[in-house]
Amino acid sequence: MDANRIKKDFQVFEDETLCYLDSAASSLKPDRVVDALIDYNKKYGVNVHRGVYNLSYVATEKYEGARQIIADFIHASFEEVIFTRGASSALNMVALSYGMNEVNKGDEILVSELEHHSHLLPWQQVAKAKGAKLVYVPLTKEGRITIGHVKKVLSEKTKVVALTHTSNVMGYVTPIKEIIQLAHEVGAVVSVDAAQSVPHQRIDVKDLDADFLAFSGHKMLGPTGIGVLYGKKKLLKDMAPVEYGGDMIDSVEKFASEVKDAPYKFETGTPPIGEAIALGEAVRYLEELGLDNIAAHERELRAYTIERMSEIEGITIYNPCVETGIITFNIDGVHPHDAVTYFDGDNVCMRAGHHCAQLVTRWLDVVATLRISFYVYNTYEDADQFLASLKGAVAFFKSVGF
Amino acid sequence: MNNMENLYRQVIMDHYKNPRHKGLVNDEHYHTSHIKNPTCGDDITIQSRVEDGIVKDIRHEGTGCSICCSSASVMSEVLIGKTVEEATAILENYLNMLTNKDFDEEVELEDAIAYSGVRKFPARIKCASIAWKAFEDTLKESE
């Protein structure tokens, strides 16, 4: 994969000094995705499913076309793809609709300390409201969720398994296919947070046999404000909407109403139309690049970078054996917020903090961490720029007395 | 290239390594305010004791970056012994200085002037102001 050529597809890289290593938080957007968003707003910026005029027909075709593109992308059926505000709102929808109705007193919900807050707090709420028990899958010494550790806590009481596919802090990939199979054996339903995996590896929801799987547009070259919830048809069929209102009803009477079938019963009001269409464009772009090529490219950059980082004294890497493009580390004795200001001075963008996953930061027994993450547009030059800045940072903080 | 030296002045590093007035007290004469910055994990508690319109003592405790932790220490050194009016004036001037607003150069910021470099690092203004904002809260409580 020629990342130097890919960079040309992104206007933001007209700034040649920019070293963007925060794609796990939000990826940059290629011009053609931005153009798709602008095109909608400029040329056919009208509502979907409503107007009986040509322009509305065009908008509806494009919006539903994007749904089909995304369904094909993850090997789902058209009606199993629900557009949401993002992964957070998709994961909340699973907890609020499925969780609040199907989980009962005494049931157990399996989660992990690797979960992003958006996949933990909704289940905390379900557990509290329904008198269910949150059970944490113990992590390995390295910080991984393994099949063996899931087996230790999985039981007939388990009603829901809510786990991340790829940790946004540690970058580890959960053996989710095998876990889903085990969960199904005890009759549990599995919610997968795939926000960090769908942008970086091929996902086949049918092969995984996932019950629910959520991801965000803005982490996969798409716009903000759009995400996807995949749900199995037979589960969505019996689930109640979370929000009621326009566009999601079949017929309305004074005291009762009929809602539409999935996915529409979960898409109340005017959806983010341009954003959905632009996400469809992002998926086409990703498919042109090839998800396997993307994963291989990130693995190479990670291996190159970790090898050179481990030669630098005075830093700690928390996930040296990671298989994805996420590297989490600290400069010893330097708070990540101090460190990140130094990197910023070199136009190297990375994340500092607890990455919306306070439990794993606590598990690492640190106040916060630095994180770099690679994506399609990152080059070996980016890795070198980061490594030079890292060396500079270590020397600088030492010189001022840290 | 980097102009980090503007940020990490000697005074700041000195207070970061050797914080003054650190540690909280269990004393009802003190007013306490706890501020958290959840995005970066800065977590600061400030206590102040005001008697006869004078700031008699300031204590601080918490975790955070060097800018955040040192500023609590510098603030305690600068403000202890000042009248509430003087302390309030310094506080306002300090916060205005950080945010590039007009400020009264007649008001002596003492060592807190070391944080003037923060202006050039907008992402760090919050770090430098969190302790002072917590102190402001304790003053409001003691009114």
Inter-chain contact B2–A338, Cβ cutoff 8 Å? Answer: no
Residue B40: pLDDT band with limits 50, 70, 90: low
How many beta carbons lie within 10 A of that of residue A174, not counting itself?
A: 23
Inter-chain contact A368–B40, Cβ cutoff 8 Å? Answer: yes
Taking a C-beta distance cutoff of 8 angstroms, is the pair A171, A324 a contact? yes
| B70: chain A residues, CB-CB within 8 Å | none
Interface mutation vs chain A, best among B7, B16, B66, most A CBs within 10 Å: B66
The beta-carbon neighbor of B13 closest among A341, A361, A400 is A400
Nearest partner of B11 among B125, B109, B120, B143, judged by Cα: B109
Report which of residues B141 and A399 the model is more confident about: A399
Residues in Cβ contact with A115 at an 8 Å cutoff, skipping those fewer than 6 apart: A162, A163, A164, A193, A357, A359
- ipTM of the complex as predicted: 0.87
% of chain A at pLDDT higher than 70:
100
* Tens-digit pLDDT profile for residues A290-309: 999 999 999 999 999 999 99
Inter-chain contact B66–A401, Cβ cutoff 8 Å? Answer: no
The answer to whether residue B128 neighbours chain A at the CB level (below 8 Å) is no
| A352: chain B residues, CB-CB within 8 Å | 40
* Tens-digit pLDDT profile for residues B47-61: 999 999 999 999 999
Name the residue with tokens 């109705």.
A101
Q: How far apart are CA A352 and CA A329, in angstroms?
A: 10
Residues in Cβ contact with A131 at an 8 Å cutoff, skipping those fewer than 6 apart: A104, A105, A106
Residue A54, pLDDT > 80, answer yes
What token pair was written down for B91? 């506080």
Strands B31-37 and A369-373: unpaired
Residue B76, pLDDT > 50, answer yes
The beta-carbon neighbor of B17 closest among A352, A392, A401 is A401
Residues in Cβ contact with A130 at an 8 Å cutoff, skipping those fewer than 6 apart: A99, A100, A103, A104, A105, A107
* Tens-digit pLDDT profile for residues B106-140: 889 999 999 999 998 998 999 999 999 999 999 98
| Chain A: closest CA distance from residue B27 (Å) | 28
In A, minimum Cα distance to B3 occurs at A345
How many beta carbons lie within 10 A of that of residue A156, not counting itself?
A: 10
Inter-chain contact A338–B3, Cβ cutoff 8 Å? Answer: no
C-alpha separations of A384 from A28, A43, B64 in Å: 20, 43, 29
pLDDT at position A367: 86
| A399: chain B residues, CB-CB within 8 Å | none
Residue B143, pLDDT > 80, answer no
Residue B1: pLDDT band with limits 50, 70, 90: very low
pTM: 0.94
In B, minimum Cα distance to A370 occurs at B40
State which H helix or E strand residue A81 sits in. strand A81-84
The answer to whether residue B65 neighbours chain A at the CB level (below 8 Å) is yes
In B, minimum Cα distance to A351 occurs at B40
- Which range has the worst mean pLDDT, A5-19, A195-209, A348-362? A348-362
What token pair was written down for A244? 């009621």
Inter-chain contact B127–A337, Cβ cutoff 8 Å? Answer: yes
- Is A356 annotated as catalytic? yes
Q: How far apart are CA B29 and CA B26, in angstroms?
A: 9
Q: How far apart are CA A198 and CA A29, in angstroms?
A: 16
| Chain A: closest CA distance from residue B57 (Å) | 28
